[in-house]
Copies of this chain bind each other. A is one copy, B any other.
């Protein structure tokens, strides 16, 4: 089969002008239906594949939406991207994805590369960026969406929630269950900004209840794995054996912590309560089920997509969509009453 069959070749074979072939490939253009069918058949027979690169240049439209996420290997961000892709692909838009590895310097590089592709809009995870990244986004001339966070000084649109505030509800719940010696397991404070916000929220919520906050365990650089969660739990139990409850920065580390309790013969929640964040599937399947926070990651993606579609039609508007994660109370933090 031929490489580089062009519109011109299809046009010649179909006995029409290139412009008519061009129209035949656009669903909204006016071409006689029989002409279109004939052209598409000829194109298929010749093995013609439409060349977007040329169309993009001439029409100054790429139908790309650029997205940065910290890591592809994270069920929450993957869900967001899945929701985003699904909505956008129905509108003929394609996601162009880049990873930042939880590093704003890498984010800056990713943003620069992505903007060169001339996307219609760009979505970044989180609200902390290098000054240059911020400048690039501000000057891009396209809708910018910051997701998964509520930046104090947004660049453009926002679809997110307060990571810190989710910890209030969590600590309130634990205190209501009678726990007072509560620990937090999380990553390095500065790298994963959403995790750091949760830690900050945890500390604030403990203070609001007049509780001391002397059990903050560092589990290393993000993302915190199950194994790191288990190791951190081991250190916590060694240092503070009288801990009554532990909040983990994610369900993955929480599950790791849970297994460490299993290995040590500690009952959850009988001897110690464990909670996570993210409403990963495992939280709902493991034994006991894990108390967690559901940030509705797929909805975030869908909301971002809908916001972009709206913003492309209504330039100038700035939309802030504040979402409300839900505390999901499960067996791992509930005092049994039997």
Q: Which of A's residues lie within 8 Å of B, judged by CB?
A: 1-4, 47, 49-54, 56-57, 62, 71-73, 75, 78-79, 81-82, 85, 94-99, 112-113, 115-118, 135-136, 138-141, 225-227, 230, 252, 255-256, 259, 262-263, 281-282, 284-287
Which single member of B2, B71, B75, B85 contacts A139 (CB below 8 Å)?
A: B2
5 contacts between A and B (CB under 8 A): A47-B139, A72-B85, A73-B75, A226-B285, A255-B285
**Given known contacts A3-B141, A78-B73, A116-B49, A285 and B256 CB-to-CB distance under 8 angstroms:** yes
CB distance from A112 to the nearest CB of B (A): 7
Which single member of B79, B96, B225, B230 contacts A96 (CB below 8 Å)?
A: B96
Bound: A252/B263 CA distance, A: 21
The interface residues of chain B lying within 8 Å CB-to-CB of A54 are 57
Bound: A284/B136 CA distance, A: 42
The interface residues of chain B lying within 8 Å CB-to-CB of A79 are 73
Check B281–A225 contact: CB distance below 8 A.
yes
Check A285–B227 contact: CB distance below 8 A.
yes
CB distance from A102 to the nearest CB of B (A): 13
* A3: nearest chain-B partner, CB-CB: B141
* A132: nearest chain-B partner, CB-CB: B44
Which single member of B1, B2, B3 contacts A135 (CB below 8 Å)?
A: B1
Which of A57, A252, A263 is the most central at the interface, judged by chain B CB atoms within 10 Å of its CB? A57
Bound: A52/B119 CA distance, A: 11
The interface residues of chain B lying within 8 Å CB-to-CB of A72 are 72, 78, 81-82, 85
CB distance from A265 to the nearest CB of B (A): 11
CB distance from A135 to the nearest CB of B (A): 7
The interface residues of chain B lying within 8 Å CB-to-CB of A263 are 287
Bound: A56/B95 CA distance, A: 19
Bound: A85/B68 CA distance, A: 14
CB distance from A332 to the nearest CB of B (A): 13
Bound: A53/B53 CA distance, A: 6
Bound: A270/B239 CA distance, A: 34
Bound: A115/B48 CA distance, A: 11
The interface residues of chain B lying within 8 Å CB-to-CB of A95 are 97
**Given known contacts A94-B113, A115-B49, A282 and B57 CB-to-CB distance under 8 angstroms:** no
CB distance from A120 to the nearest CB of B (A): 12
* A138: nearest chain-B partner, CB-CB: B1
Check B49–A136 contact: CB distance below 8 A.
yes
Check A118–B287 contact: CB distance below 8 A.
no
* A141: nearest chain-B partner, CB-CB: B3
Check A230–B1 contact: CB distance below 8 A.
no
Bound: A123/B27 CA distance, A: 29
